[in-house]
Amino acid sequence: MNKSLTEIKTICCIGAGYVGGPTMAVIADRCPKIQVTVVDLNESRIAAWNDQNLNNLPVYEPGLDQVVNRARGRNLHFSTEVDESIAAADMVFISVNTPTKTKGLGSGQASDLRWVEACARQVALCAQGHTIVVEKSTLPVRTAETVKAILQAAQQPQADNQPPKSFVVLSNPEFLAEGTAIKDLESPDRVLIGGEDANAIDALANIYSAWVPKEKILRTNLWSSELSKLSANAFLAQRISSINSVAALCEVTGADVNEVAKAIGTDSRIGPKFLNAGPGFGGSCFQKDILNLVYLCRYFGLPEVADYWQNVVTLNTWQQHRIARLVVKSLFGTVTGKRLALFGFAFKADTNDTREAPAIQIAKDLIEEGAQLAIHDPKVEAEQITNDLQLDASPPPDQASGPSKAALGGEGTWWPSTNISDAVRGADAVLILTEWQQFREIDWDKIAPLMRQPAWVFDARSVVDPSAVLGAGLKLWRVGDGAT
Ligand code: NAD
Ligand code: UDX
């Protein structure tokens, strides 16, 4: 491709995960003249993307199946042939995982960039002619420097008379949220492109302009773009920690956090979104990206800034422990051997994703206290809960024979429950941790007689109708509601 050309004909996206799959599906859908190939080392993931039964796609997102159905086989392809796809591409997106490091320098905070570096090396090796390399993964500010250094080494004259290679690196972070990914991709608040090469920026902007209004396509330098993604997630998470801190204060003062959120959210400078108090934020991004920001601040000699952001995570963890503690306190100071029904395990509604879900920490705390948890989530599989709790499920207790041996010995256990009535039978409390629609619709008059009295509802998502719960003779705690 001529270096000044701004029309892209072939795209390769490395990483067929949560971001790579849906993002490329929407690009292919909106740009039928561009051939888009999404590659991954994970063969079963690629097989699932190619499955004729659209219910088997590896990512569940409302509307994704229709987008894939329109474009797949036409100009959207999923493949394990990484090298060939890179070689054929005018533009390569890097959309691989960047989790928190679990060992070595920066362990527990810094992002693990081994997969990004591996991609850069693969592109350096396999690309042909001029290639625009786009960072789609969320990356620490100045990562493009590393990517450029690896690519530049490949621009040296080729030993065996191969045609010369050249590269441009752009940053184009993704802002989609789970559960609304297709909506977010089809009508984004903005598309952010960071870079130094005007032609390359035009080339990427041209792709998005097929469906995104031009004024929503923002252009910045590379470092602003990389840092904007971390900052956006930090600001969003900060709002949640802020409202959760206010919720705790509401509970001891008689204020109601929903009323406070409405009162402050109507100030147009603050805005109404992302002010729902809850059990704390979860998901694969917020904690990881803030910890990364904290690490960067320390690295660049800004310990006060690092401490400021660290506190957003600290408060989030505190909120999870706080909820577990108040359940124990309310149940006469002990949950040992008591049955509790835990409703919702996913980190938010409309997803089966449990990464960093607040339910994990809360369930672990209660199990540590000796509770017997019946866990019910409409989308999360028992196997996933076992992995997250690092504890095998026990058989559900037999009503006739009373508490199990483990329960009498004070050992905490859990079992998966596929329906609400089974989960609450004999329970001292219901604990709602995910805002699934079905939990808003529970008939408390039917549930209350199945529970052991006095029985509680702990609503960490503020989804129940208080009068219905109280009217059924149950005690109620709602996050941030000092009135109940
Ligand atoms: P993911 O784990 O779902 O997918 C990453 C994929 O990359 C995996 O399938 C893995 O096999 C593949 N991969 C890794 N190294 C590879 C290599 N060298 N060659 C080929 N394939 C390789 O991750 P994700 O959720 O899609 O996230 C990707 C990036 O996007 C991360 O940086 C994340 O922080 C960011 N992000 C995620 C979200 C989200 O909601 N999940 C939103 C915005 C941004
Ligand atoms: C987030 C960002 O929103 C998205 O822009 C980015 O690209 C990836 O990270 P995601 O984690 O998928 O998206 O979901 P989000 O809707 O942001 O929710 C994150 C967590 O915050 C969830 O646990 C949710 O329940 C919680 N939350 C959200 C609240 O507790 N209160 C709120 O008001 C909003």
Give the number of the ligand closest to the Cα of residue 312. 2
Q: Ligand 2 centre and the CA of 229: distance in Å?
A: 14
Contacts for 413 with CB less than 8 Å, ≥ 6 apart: 367, 372, 373, 391, 394, 404, 406, 407
**Superfamily name and number for 3-220:** NAD(P)-binding Rossmann-like Domain (3.40.50.720)
Measured between its terminal Cα atoms, the distance across the chain in Å is: 67
Strand duo 456-459 + 429-432: pairing: parallel
Q: Which residue among 281, 361, 432 has the greatest number of ligand 2 atoms within 8 angstroms of its CB, and so is best to mutate? A: 281
Residue 483's pLDDT is what? Answer: 75
List the residue whose alpha carbon is closest to atom 42 of ligand 1.
176
Q: How far apart are CA 429 and CA 371, in angstroms?
A: 11
| pTM flag (> 0.85) | yes
Residue 406's pLDDT is what? Answer: 67
Q: Give me the DSSP letters along 362-382.
A: HHHHHHHTT-EEEEE-SS--H
Please list the ranges in the chain whose pLDDT falls under 50. 1-2, 400
Residue 1's pLDDT is what? Answer: 45
Contact 475, 444 (CB under 8 A): no
Q: Ligand 1 centre and the CA of 472: distance in Å?
A: 46
**Superfamily name and number for 221-484:** NAD(P)-binding Rossmann-like Domain (3.40.50.720)
Q: What is the pLDDT of residues 224-258, one digit of tens each?
A: 999 999 999 999 999 999 999 999 999 999 999 99
Range(s) within the chain of domains with CATH label 3.40.50.720: 3-220, 221-484
Q: How far apart are CA 374 and CA 410, in angstroms?
A: 16
Q: How far apart are CA 277 and CA 478, in angstroms?
A: 10
Q: How far apart are CA 99 and CA 287, in angstroms?
A: 10
- Residue 409: CB atoms within 10 A of its CB come to 11
The pocket around ligand 1, CB under 6 angstroms, is made up of: 14-20, 39-42, 45, 82, 95-98, 115, 118-119, 137-138, 174, 176, 178, 284-285
List the residue whose alpha carbon is closest to atom 24 of ligand 1.
18
- Cite the active site residues: 174, 229, 285
Query: What is the amino acid identity at position 432?
Result: I
Q: Give Cα 237 to chain centroid, integer Å.
A: 12
Q: Ligand 2 centre and the CA of 281: distance in Å?
A: 7
Residue 404's pLDDT is what? Answer: 65
Residue 320's pLDDT is what? Answer: 98
Contacts for 477 with CB less than 8 Å, ≥ 6 apart: 326, 330, 456, 457, 458, 459, 484
Residue 130's pLDDT is what? Answer: 96
Q: By three-state DSSP, how is residue 351 classified?
A: coil
